[in-house]
Every structure is written in C-alpha cells, then in structure tokens.
C-alpha cells in the first residue's frame, strides 16, 4: 500500500520535503465540465453579456487559479509555472461546457494540483458569470487526465 506523503511518522500533517529531488519538466492536464440551461449555454458566445466575454474571463480566471494554488491548498508547494494552456469545448446537445487545462513547470514537484485548481476556478467563473440566467448549473467530473515527469512517472487516465 502506498504511504500518504503529507503526514509524518506521528500522523501530523506537513509539507513534503522536496529538497533532494531533481528538477525536471512536469506537465499535467485536467478537465471538468459544467451543464446549464439552453438559455445560459447560448450566452457563452455572446460578447454583449452584461458581465462581458464569459469564456475570455473564465480563461483568465483559470490561469489565475493555477497561479494561486499554493495559497488555496495548504500543503502545496509554490511553483514557478512555465506555461498554462486553457481550452474550452462546447457540447450543444448536452448544454455542457468542458474546460481542459495543461499546466507546466520545471521543478521538483508536479503540477497536478495547479491544473485541477485551474479547471475548478475556470468553471466556478462560468457559473458566476451566468448565475443570473441559471442558478441550477451543475459543475461535474473534474479529474486529472494525464501527467508527465517526476519520480512517479507518467499517468494517463484510461477511462472517465
């Protein structure tokens, strides 16, 4: 069984010591989605929304979310991110918007939490911007798609 790394031998929470690790290129991709009413979905492409460009603001929020991960999740190390890429995919038949975030760094620890935080903040921003039209939107299926680099090697999710 794999040991949890955020607890010491006494069961106390601590930040993992990464001093002896080598710096390597680390990449992580995460995704998630939000379902909404047809009326809210139609507003995703409307630049005349009262709050502005929904996807443009959500993209910036996702990037900001990745950058703030260490401030939000207590035991995460602050990272110097080298790149954040944010894409959206719309599924009109399901009134679902999906977000895909790829986070990259060269460092001693991975960027999975940054990618997952970015997805979460991006989706919450979509909710915030469209809640006047649809308060019943549902954020769902936030997960790590893949990661590369580090001692644990590569991970690729094989099923949703």
Instruction: List residues with catalytic annotation.
Output: 128
Q: How would you classify the pairing of strands 81-91 and 155-156? A: unpaired
Q: Which residue has the tokens 């039209």?
A: 133
Q: Which two tokens stand for residue 56?
A: 């443009």
Distance, CA of 85 to CA of 63 (rounded, Å): 8
Cβ atoms of 5 and 150 within 8 Å: the answer is no
Residue 96 DSSP label: E
CA distance 15 to 100: 28
Task: Answer whether 41's CB lies under 8 Å from 35's CB.
Answer: no
Could you count the other beta carbons within 10 Å of the beta carbon of residue 154?
10
Listed residue (13, 29, 121, 108) closest to 66, CA to CA: 121
């Amino acid at each position: 069984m794999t040991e949890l790394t955020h607890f010491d031998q006494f069961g106390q929470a601590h930040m993992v010591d990464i001093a002896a690790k080598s710096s390597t290129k680390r990449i992580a991709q995460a995704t998630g989605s939000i379902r909404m009413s047809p009326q809210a979905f139609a507003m995703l492409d409307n630049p005349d929304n009262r709050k502005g460009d929904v996807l443009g603001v959500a993209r910036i929020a996702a990037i900001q979310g990745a950058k703030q991960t260490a401030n939000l999740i207590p035991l995460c190390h602050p990272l110097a991110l080298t790149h954040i890429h944010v894409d959206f995919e719309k599924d009109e038949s399901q009134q679902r918007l999906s977000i895909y975030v790829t986070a990259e760094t060269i460092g001693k620890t991975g960027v999975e939490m940054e990618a997952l935080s970015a997805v979460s903040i991006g989706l919450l921003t979509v909710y915030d911007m469209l809640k006047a039209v649809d308060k019943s939107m549902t954020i769902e299926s936030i997960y790590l798609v893949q990661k590369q680099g580090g001692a644990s090697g590569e991970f690729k999710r094989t099923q949703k």
